[in-house]
Amino acid sequence: MMEMLTKATLETLYMVIVSAIFTVGIGLPLGIILVVTSENHIATNKWISGVLSYVVNMTRSLPFIILMIFIIPITRWLIGTSIGTEAAIVPLVFAAIPFFARVVESALHEIDDGVIEAAIAMGATPLQIIIRVMIPEALPSLVLGVTITVINLLGYSAMAGAIGGGGIGDLAIRYGYHRFRTDVMLMTIFLLVILVQSIQSSGNLIAQKIIKNRRK
């Protein structure tokens, strides 16, 4: 059983880590665009912000399981197959991007307008404001945002087991549910709890460290 659990855990970690990288890589710029194109910001653009906001909301309103099935053609086109751990990463990323983009948006909206105004007054370009002002100022919130996104990905990854994605969720369904292996079921629950706890605590720790450093 240990072997099974180790393999499943590694699969889960693989899915979550890879999709987290893609989610942050795509969701962060999207969240930034959502903010800077909003009203009275550094690159206000009603069209872009309207369309983007609409797409984000639409994607977020689909339950993960439906989204997963709906984008199978895209998955096939990208990965070559719709089954397996790699294939599970595609719907995971699709589901997490809009969520993370909103998280980024709210973190960046928290920044005091005055600070951005000061940067404008100093002649900063919009890109300089994003990179040198907005991201550093919102860094603790962004780190916490990444943390809850990763935890969400962990939850979704369990469902991705349903399309043969492997991982802890897959194990729980195949052994714990279909074969009535209560011990496996309990172990998977235990593992998930441990994973969620450690992700959350590391996130908190990093954010706290950044904040503490700034109180020096």
Partner 1 sequence: MIEIQNLSKIYEKAHQKVVAIEHIDLKVERGDIYGIVGLSGAGKSSLVRCINRIEDPTTGTVIVDGVDLTSLSGKALRSERQKIGMIFQNFNLLSSKTVFENIAFPLRLKGLDKEQIQKRVLDLLEKVELTEKADVYPVNLSGGQKQRVGIARALANEPSVLLCDESTSALDPKTTKQILGLLKRINKEFGVTLVVITHEMDVVKAICNKVAILESGRIIAEGDTIDVFTRKTSDATKHFIGESVSSDSNHRGNNRLQLTFKGVSAEQPILSGLIRNLAVDVNILSGSIETIQDYPLGKLIVELPGDSNVLIEALDYLSAKGVDAEVLS
81 binds partner 1 (CB under 8 A): no
What is the distance between the alpha carbons of residues 101 and 89, in angstroms, rounded to a whole number?
18
Interaction of residue 117 with partner 1, rule CB under 8 A: yes
How far apart are alpha carbons 105 and 52 in whole angstroms?
12
Per the CB < 8 A criterion, the answer to whether 64 and 144 are in contact is no
Cβ closest to partner 1, residue 88 vs residue 142: 142
**Which residue of 47, 73, 114, 178 would you call a contact of partner 1, by CB under 8 A?**
114
Binding residue (CB under 8 A) for partner 1 from 6, 125, 197, 202: 125
For residues 103 and 143, the answer to whether their CB atoms sit within 8 Å is no
**Is 2 an interacting residue with respect to partner 1 (CB under 8 A)?**
no
C-alpha–C-alpha distance, residues 133 and 5, integer Å: 44
Nearer to partner 1, 59 or 128 (CB): 128
Contacts with partner 1 by CB under 8 A: the residue count is: 22
Helix (H) or strand (E) holding 78: helix 72-79
List residues near partner 1 by CB under 8 A: 112, 114-115, 117-125, 128, 132-133, 136-137, 139, 213-216
